[in-house]
Chain A
Amino acid sequence: MIDWYNSNSVLLQTTLTTLLLALSIQVSMRVGVFSFAGIGAFGIGGYLAAIGMTKWQLETIPAIAIGALAGAVVVFLLGLLIGKLTGLYLGMATIAFTLIVAVLAINGGELTGGASGIFGALGDITLEGVALVVLVVVALLTFTELGSLGRQLDTVREDPELANSLGISVTRYRRISFAVSGLIGGLAGGITTLTRSTITPEEVNFHLVVLALTVIVVGGSGSWVGALIGSIIFVWLPTWLDFVSEWEELIYGVLVTLAAIFLPKGILGVIRDLIHRWQSSRAKKAAGVIGPDQDPHSISIAETALPAGVGGRTPNRRPASTTKEES
């Protein structure tokens, strides 16, 4: 086990950073925002972490933290600017943002190293350290998927008008998602850069958008678990299938197409559907509903007595001032 761990530590670390990258767009998609701004934040976080270490002589953690915070602030401000856009238009605007980050990096002169980028920014990063960061991020995201908050975020994604009518502020949650997306993207960029010790404008480009989208589409966008499934598949696939490395882009394209057609909710969605089907079948059996002839709407309201709450457990707010009988 230890041998396997040591020999695969690079792949494990890449899986974790790919997961962070994918999460940077998953948190937006979770609330129905088709945004790739997290990828641009990856560039901001990566460059600022590298600049922090090489030019400002910062330690590893402050360098990564500055990059992540800058990613959060910039993407939040971007969200304020383009937050009213939706769907493809928003997606295009955020891809343009990512490309602008790359252009700024090329034209950043000495600060960003121009087209050749920054070298020698090697941070003191261990696999365990990265795992701890990912664990914290995943724990926080898990919290947002459970209970009341989970239901509210699902509603913001599925039906914004319904969400507003239920008192859920769609605008607020979407703005927060921009900031969190930027934070996670910046974190992914900083860790990746300081692990590789280098960053160039080529690394912060459209291919990252494709990679993150592929991971999310195949794994499933509804939860961080989907991003994890996708990250494992796309980081480890080339090692399992030797020929994949030569045909990587083609294989990615085929997998995304197949997933989009046959698995619209990703692999995670299929697993969840199976679990729910099993649970529903048990619940129906427990409720005595086993077929169309025993549809639950045979349970009549009119024919049954009032539940204990009517005029009892839940006190009447006030007697009706005008009732049918009175009029």
Chain B
Amino acid sequence: MSTPLLEVRDLAVHFGGVKAVDGISLSLQEGSIYGVLGPNGSGKSTLLGAITRLTPATRGDILFEGRSYANVSASRVHHLGVGRTFQTVRLLEDRTVRDNVLLGADTTRKSRAEIAERADYVMELVRIHTIQKVRPSELSYGMQRRVEFARAIVSDPKILLLDEPTAGMNTNERQEITAVMRLLQTEGLTQFIIEHDVAMMVDVCDYMYAMNFGKLIAEGKPDEVVRDELVQEAYLGKRAKKHA
């Protein structure tokens, strides 16, 4: 098997006595869509924070293309080719949509013309090209999410980490975002999605992990993972599972 694009080895994040992430190991190959499923508070977002180095890890190692980056600063992780979105919309309110998108490529070494061309492309991809001069505060939540998506991919990352990308969206908006994910996969972009929307995850993921209480409780093909007893228990509880 080829070297994984991203590999996490025995990663742990402890806050005092709370083990938010406790010994997680993952291996992500290039070009696939991976998902981490888990109920609220299972440690998914903390895991994403640790992978992007925004949250300091207590122990473990993270490798990108076979090289450890567990000791580099958070701002260097982006330069490796790791893009991400956050659970909540985080845009610059006083800047236009175009400015917010361009921000994602401001630290790359590409020329202005290349960045502008790429920005035009990704804005067209997520269908925000007609509202480039509008401020985010004037847009619906779903549109703001699209702007974030465009900002995350404008730097042409090798892997995109998505923290609950469809949270707060209506059905149409969810379908549109998942359509974008599939489009990006056709371009070879590896994606790592944190979500608790089971249907969406089964729909888009090639391989899935399930987490609870900071630990991995299952992994495999999406339909296998959702049928896993421990996963059903984590979502429905023991009694509910018996009645199910």
> In chain A between 162 and 184, which residues have their CB closer than 8 angstroms to a CB of chain B?
162-171
Separation in Å of the A157 CB from the closest CB of chain B? 10
A151-B95, A151-B102, A309-B124 in contact; A167/B79 too (CB < 8 A)? yes
Q: Do residues B92 and A158 form an inter-chain contact, with CB atoms below 8 A? A: yes
CA distance A148 to B109 in the complex (A): 12
Q: Do residues B187 and A322 form an inter-chain contact, with CB atoms below 8 A? A: no
CA distance A191 to B31 in the complex (A): 61
Chain A residue at smallest Cβ distance from B52? A165
Residue among B52, B134, B135 with the highest chain A CB neighbour number at 10 A: B134
Q: Do residues B142 and A297 form an inter-chain contact, with CB atoms below 8 A? A: yes
- Interface-side segment among A102-110, A253-261, A275-283: A275-283
Chain B residue at smallest Cβ distance from A158? B92
CA distance A305 to B105 in the complex (A): 25
Fill in one digit per residue for A200-236: 1 if any B CB lies within 8 Å of its CB, else 0.
Answer: 0000000000000000000000100000000000000
A276-B135, A289-B131, A313-B121 in contact; A320/B94 too (CB < 8 A)? no
Q: Do residues B206 and A319 form an inter-chain contact, with CB atoms below 8 A? A: no
CA distance A275 to B90 in the complex (A): 23
Is B188 an interface residue, CB under 8 A from the partner? yes
Chain A residue at smallest Cβ distance from B178? A302
Main secondary structure of the interface of A (DSSP, over half): loop
CA distance A280 to B74 in the complex (A): 35
> In chain B between 178 and 235, which residues have their CB closer than 8 angstroms to a CB of chain A?
179-180, 183, 185-189, 204, 206-207, 221
Separation in Å of the A269 CB from the closest CB of chain B? 9
**Residue in B33, B94, B189 whose CB lies within 8 Å of A317:** B189
CA distance A311 to B146 in the complex (A): 21
Q: Do residues B187 and A323 form an inter-chain contact, with CB atoms below 8 A? A: no
Q: Do residues B143 and A296 form an inter-chain contact, with CB atoms below 8 A? A: yes
Q: Do residues B127 and A280 form an inter-chain contact, with CB atoms below 8 A? A: no
Is B9 an interface residue, CB under 8 A from the partner? no
Question: Which residues of B have CB within 8 Å of A222?
Answer: 94
Chain B residue at smallest Cβ distance from A148? B106
Question: Which residues of B have CB within 8 Å of A248?
Answer: none
Is A321 an interface residue, CB under 8 A from the partner? yes
Question: Which residues of B have CB within 8 Å of A304?
Answer: 127
Question: Which residues of A have CB within 8 Å of B95?
Answer: 151, 154
Q: Do residues A168 and B107 form an inter-chain contact, with CB atoms below 8 A? A: yes
**Residue in B29, B94, B142 whose CB lies within 8 Å of A321:** B29
Is B118 an interface residue, CB under 8 A from the partner? yes
A167-B107, A296-B139, A301-B176 in contact; A283/B134 too (CB < 8 A)? yes
CA distance A307 to B95 in the complex (A): 25
CA distance A310 to B124 in the complex (A): 10
> In chain B between 61 and 92, which residues have their CB closer than 8 angstroms to a CB of chain A?
73-79, 84, 86, 90, 92
Q: Do residues A310 and B187 form an inter-chain contact, with CB atoms below 8 A? A: yes
Question: Which residues of B have CB within 8 Å of A148?
Answer: 102, 106
Is A155 an interface residue, CB under 8 A from the partner? yes
Question: Which residues of A have CB within 8 Å of B156?
Answer: 314, 317
Is B167 an interface residue, CB under 8 A from the partner? no
Chain A residue at smallest Cβ distance from B221? A327
A166-B103, A283-B134, A322-B31 in contact; A317/B78 too (CB < 8 A)? no
CA distance A162 to B54 in the complex (A): 9
**Residue in B33, B158, B179, B186 whose CB lies within 8 Å of A311:** B186
Taking Cβ atoms with an 8 Å cutoff, the residues of A that contact B are 148, 151-152, 154-155, 158-159, 161-171, 222, 272, 276, 279-280, 282-284, 287-289, 295-297, 299-302, 304, 306-311, 313-314, 316-324, 327
Instruction: Name 24 A/B residue pairs within 8 A (Cβ), A-sorted.
Output: A148-B102, A151-B92, A151-B102, A164-B75, A165-B54, A165-B77, A166-B103, A167-B78, A167-B107, A276-B94, A283-B133, A283-B134, A287-B130, A297-B140, A297-B142, A301-B125, A306-B125, A309-B125, A310-B183, A314-B156, A318-B31, A322-B29, A322-B207, A323-B32
